[in-house]
Amino acid sequence: MGSAPVIMKFGGTSVGDAAAIDRLVRHVSAARQREALVVVVSALSKVTDRLLQLASFAAAGDEGAIQAGAGELLDRHTEVARQITPDAGKLTAELTSELGELRNLLHAVATLKDASPRTRDAIAAFGELLSSRIVAAACQASGLPAVSLDARRVLVTNETFGSALPLMEETAASVDRTIRPILAESRIPIVGGFVGATISGVTTTLGRGGSDYSAAIFGAALDAREIQIWTDVDGMMTADPRVVRATHVVPRLSFDEASELAYFGAKVLHPSTILPAVSKSIPVRILNSHRFEGDGTLITAESPLNAPLAALACKRHVTVVDITSTRMLMAHGFLRRVFEVFERYRTPIDVVSTSEVSISVTVDDDSRLRELADELSTFAEVRVEPDMAILCAVGDGLRRDPQLASRILGSLGQFPLRMVSQAASRRNVTVVLQDTVAAAAMVHLHEIFFPHAADVPEDVERVAL
């Protein structure tokens, strides 16, 4: 057994019920024959949504809703516990005790009628704390030497509640104290994703979908051989499978391509996942937990040579903000002032395009848009247009073929484009259009640029960029 472990991360639907957990155990058993493993799990499917909803009910003082919700969560988790292990007594007692703590926390929030981001993190973290115990018990019931680890003892983060960032040095040190000794005994650590704690031990989360990121952080800390993201689709698909029916798996992606796709809406990968992998050059592989065959998508530093475009991605329901300088030409310092306002309201910008007197940007998070627009209005004219979508074609091939970008834009002639952008990386062509036509535009682009699903070679030629 080699010393570099493989990280296996299983998402919500891959631990959603007893049947899914049974498949997980079979994957882990098979992989264990070959190498050392660290298993990272999400909460059972939909549990994080439910926990955050309960936090909101609690903040509104709705005791009835929180009692009913906590009861449902207990029923669901204990039911799965009974199905995955013949001797569920100890596990059920642990789950009941954890959920008792959740009830107390929700009750306190209901009394105060206030759920700060810090409290919401403490509530959201219960999903992964419960699922990691259940999965460890399921592995043990199948004879695997699994050990459940509390993620708050492993992942050290800063104090940005709701979207905490890892402190890599501190995390590497705690990984040495917690995960490595378990691996040294040839056992399998099972740890929840998404959840961490500050240096002083306050619970944090990495933000929605953050279990992929946890897996990559642990992978980097352990110099893993590979970081595997096990999910409910066959890999990174050529387009969002919820929008386009005829998608197929992209067998190979570069780190840069995968980052762009994740950033622009390919939900299968959390956008920050690639960062820790790049830092240690660790391959990332996306695999379908429902299958026992298939190579999924392999993501490495190299770029597939013979694939012009890697895939399409789409971010729906974004808002375009047009900001026009009230002077005739953009005064010196105008852009800086504009970006400072977005910074102050902690509202990230995705796409930018500028003209002589105006700048257009897209934002995903519109929660502070009203205040933000008011402030911009003190020195510019502001127009806000909701219900737009970003459509993005990604591929390292765009750097090699100068005609490709114009072919993409040309093929979108029938769709009114609100913004067009190609960043310096020249790895993507991004357009912004009405959300109502985004799906049709994606289907159309997919038909043109990915016409022969079955013809895509499995073993593409590779080149380092």
Nearest-approach distance from CB 128 to Mg ion, in angstroms: 12
Nearest-approach distance from CB 329 to ligand ADP, in angstroms: 41
For Mg ion, the closer CB: 267 or 407:
267
Helices 117-124/89-112 angle, 10° precision: 160
For ligand ADP, the closer CB: 380 or 394:
394
Tokens of 356: 């002589």
**The one among 210, 219, 271, 304 contacting ligand ASP by CB under 6 A:** 210
- Give the amino acid at 108: A
Our finding on whether 207 is near Mg ion (CB under 5 A) is: no
DSSP state of 200: T
Helix segments in 113-210, DSSP class H: 117-124, 126-141, 168-184
- Give the amino acid at 366: D
Nearest-approach distance from CB 9 to Mg ion, in angstroms: 9
**The one among 5, 16, 69, 127 contacting ligand ASP by CB under 6 A:** 127
Interface with ligand ADP by CB under 6 A: which residues? 11-14, 42, 209, 231-233, 236-237, 239-242, 266-268, 311
Nearest-approach distance from CB 220 to ligand ADP, in angstroms: 19
- Return the ∠ at Cα 102 (arms to 140 and 98), rounded to 5°: 25
From CA 9, how far away is CA 188, in angstroms rounded? 13
Site string for ligand ASP, 12-31 (x = CB under 6 A): x-------------------
From CA 312, how far away is CA 166, in angstroms rounded? 29
* Of 19-27, 165-173, 204-212, 341-349: span binding ligand ASP (CB under 6 A): 204-212
DSSP state of 453: G
Site string for ligand ASP, 372-411 (x = CB under 6 A): ----------------------------------------
Task: Indicate which of ligand ADP, Mg ion, ligand ASP, none lies near residue 241 (CB less than 5 to 8 Å, by partner kind).
Answer: ligand ADP
Contact 433, 441 (CB under 8 A): yes
Rg (CA), the chain: 23
Tokens of 90: 């100890």
Give the H or E element holding residue 323: strand 311-325
**The one among 5, 8, 40, 48 contacting ligand ASP by CB under 6 A:** 48
Nearest-approach distance from CB 388 to ligand ADP, in angstroms: 18
- Give the amino acid at 382: V
From CA 196, how far away is CA 155, in angstroms rounded? 5
Q: Residue 153: which of 137, 139, 132, 138 has the closest Cα?
A: 132
Our finding on whether 209 is near Mg ion (CB under 5 A) is: yes
Task: Indicate which of Mg ion, ligand ASP, ligand ADP, none lies near residue 43 (CB less than 5 to 8 Å, by partner kind).
Answer: ligand ASP
CB crowding 197-233: b at 16 or more within 10 Å, else e: bbeeebbbbbbebbbbbbbbbbbbbbebbbbbbbbbb
Residue position matching structure tokens 């009750």 = 107
From CA 17, how far away is CA 191, in angstroms rounded? 18
Q: Residue 121: which of 209, 214, 204, 49 has the closest Cα?
A: 204
Q: How far is CA 400 from CA 148, 164, 260, 305, in A?
A: 48, 37, 17, 9
Task: Indicate which of ligand ASP, ligand ADP, Mg ion, none lies near residue 146 (CB less than 5 to 8 Å, by partner kind).
Answer: none
Task: Indicate which of Mg ion, ligand ADP, ligand ASP, none lies near residue 127 (CB less than 5 to 8 Å, by partner kind).
Answer: ligand ASP
**The one among 10, 126, 194, 218 contacting ligand ASP by CB under 6 A:** 194
Helix segments in 33-167, DSSP class H: 47-59, 63-84, 89-112, 117-124, 126-141
Nearest-approach distance from CB 254 to ligand ASP, in angstroms: 23
Task: Indicate which of Mg ion, ligand ASP, ligand ADP, none lies near residue 14 (CB less than 5 to 8 Å, by partner kind).
Answer: ligand ADP
From CA 354, how far away is CA 335, in angstroms rounded? 10
Nearest-approach distance from CB 346 to Mg ion, in angstroms: 23
**The one among 5, 11, 265, 397 contacting ligand ASP by CB under 6 A:** 11
From CA 256, how far away is CA 261, in angstroms rounded? 9
Our finding on whether 192 is near ligand ASP (CB under 6 A) is: no
For ligand ADP, the closer CB: 106 or 236:
236
Nearest-approach distance from CB 383 to ligand ADP, in angstroms: 30
For ligand ASP, the closer CB: 12 or 219:
12
For ligand ASP, the closer CB: 193 or 235:
193
Indicate the residue whose CB is closest to ligand ADP: 11
Task: Indicate which of Mg ion, ligand ADP, ligand ASP, none lies near residue 208 (CB less than 5 to 8 Å, by partner kind).
Answer: ligand ASP
From CA 391, how far away is CA 190, in angstroms rounded? 37
Nearest-approach distance from CB 261 to ligand ADP, in angstroms: 6
Binding site for Mg ion (CB under 5 A): 11, 209
Binding site for ligand ASP (CB under 6 A): 11-12, 42-43, 48, 127, 193-194, 208-211
